[in-house]
């Protein structure tokens, strides 16, 4: 039921962990299942390119696989281009997800948006098209 790519990113997730002193960090919760995702970004101040992206999750296998792929896709993109990494783009890159697991892929997209939002707020800039994710839970779940 899962594609080979999903199984690969689930069994061998890329970019798991934390970034010390991140440029932006965002934590989101999935209202449907209660799972939590935190995304860390290291952004070049001048070029606005995302050099590094790491994630930690208290979530299901599909959330792990989509976040792993999402981190791979945003690395090397500017903060503006990173908005192209939608949950649909991530699912396409993974050769699809079962319909019941589509909501899991939203966690990755929203976590990236929350981290970008955090960066934009700290730097008093606007990223066109970026909205604060409604499932942003801030840093309340420190131990998540
Ligand atoms: Fe919660 Fe997948 S079931 S993110």
pLDDT of residue 141: 46
Asked whether 26 lines ligand 1 (CB < 6 A), one says no
Structural domains of the chain, count = 1
> 136 lies in a domain?
no
pLDDT of residue 137: 87
Residue 42's domain is classified under what CATH number? 3.90.1010.10
Report the nearest atom of ligand 1 relative to the CA of 34: 1
Place of tokens 């696989």: 65
> 134 lies in a domain?
no
Residue 139 confidence class, pLDDT cut points 50, 70, 90: low
Please enumerate, as own/partner, the contacts of 48-51 that have beta carbons within 8 Å and a separation of 24 or more.
48/78, 48/79, 48/80, 49/76, 49/77, 49/78, 50/74, 50/75, 50/76, 50/77, 50/78, 50/79, 50/82, 51/75
Per-residue pLDDT reduced to its tens digit, 31-83:
889 999 999 999 999 999 999 999 999 999 999 999 999 999 999 999 999 99
> 135 lies in a domain?
no
Q: In what order do the strands lie in the sheet with 50-58?
A: 24-29, 36-43, 50-58
Distance 29 CA to ligand 1 centre (A): 10
As a whole number, mean pLDDT of residues 118-131 equals 96
Answer yes or no: 60 catalytic: no
The per-residue pLDDT of the chain, averaged, comes to: 93
Asked whether 66 lines ligand 1 (CB < 6 A), one says no
> 138 lies in a domain?
no
> 140 lies in a domain?
no
> 143 lies in a domain?
no
Q: Which domain holds residue 30?
A: 4-129
> 71 lies in a domain?
yes
pLDDT of residue 140: 57
Per-residue pLDDT reduced to its tens digit, 71-105:
999 999 999 999 999 999 999 999 999 999 998 99
């Amino acid at each position: 039921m899962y594609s080979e790519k999903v199984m690969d990113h689930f069994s061998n997730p890329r970019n798991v962990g934390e970034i010390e002193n991140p440029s932006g960090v965002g934590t989101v919760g999935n209202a449907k299942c209660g799972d939590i995702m935190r995304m860390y970004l290291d952004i070049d101040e001048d070029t606005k390119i995302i050099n590094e992206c790491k994630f930690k999750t208290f979530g299901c296998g599909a959330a792990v696989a989509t976040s792993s792929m999402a981190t791979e896709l945003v690395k090397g993109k500017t903060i503006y281009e990173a908005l192209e990494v939608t949950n649909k783009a991530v699912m396409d890159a993974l050769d699809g997800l079962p319909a019941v697991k589509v909501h899991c892929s939203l966690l990755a997209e929203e976590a990236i948006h929350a981290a970008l939002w955090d960066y934009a707020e700290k730097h008093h800039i606007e990223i066109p098209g970026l909205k604060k994710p409604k499932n942003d839970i801030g840093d309340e779940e420190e131990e998540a």
